Amino acid sequence: MVTPDFEEWLRRADIPVEETVTLDRYINYLKEELGIHGGSLRVAEDIFHERYELWEELGIRPVVRHYTVEGEPFEETRYAIAGNPGLWGREAMLLFAEAIAEDLGLYEMAERIRAIRREEYGGSP
């Protein structure tokens, strides 16, 4: 069974850009270089669509920040959102993404984002 930790790790994984150009290259990289297989690859496909296709259309770009906390390396993913200064956390990004998708008339996408937000953070629809 795939865990939320695995999904979050995939969202943050530092995959070489050239391996994210197509879904096939991404999946092959995960198989060959990281040894991921079976049902985990289906989860990886969903993460690929979310990370490399979904947000771009809405003017949202993930940014991985690397820094140290008390001498230990740390990284986190923040999101740059077109027209909004600064970097945003995932929950705020999902709220922006949902609103942007609805403004653009992408109602199915907005519903998909809403489902992601509910799954990850609970709360009202």
Q: Divide the 125 residues of the chain into consecutive groups of 10 and give the mean pLDDT of each group.
A: 75 79 89 92 88 84 88 89 95 95 94 86 71
Instruction: Return the pLDDT at 1.
Output: 47
**Helices of type H across 1-125:** 4-12, 23-34, 39-48, 55-57, 90-103, 107-121
Instruction: Return the pLDDT at 123.
Output: 67
Evaluate whether 16 touches 29 at the Cβ level (below 8 Å): yes
Instruction: Return the pLDDT at 2.
Output: 53
**Reported pTM:** 0.67
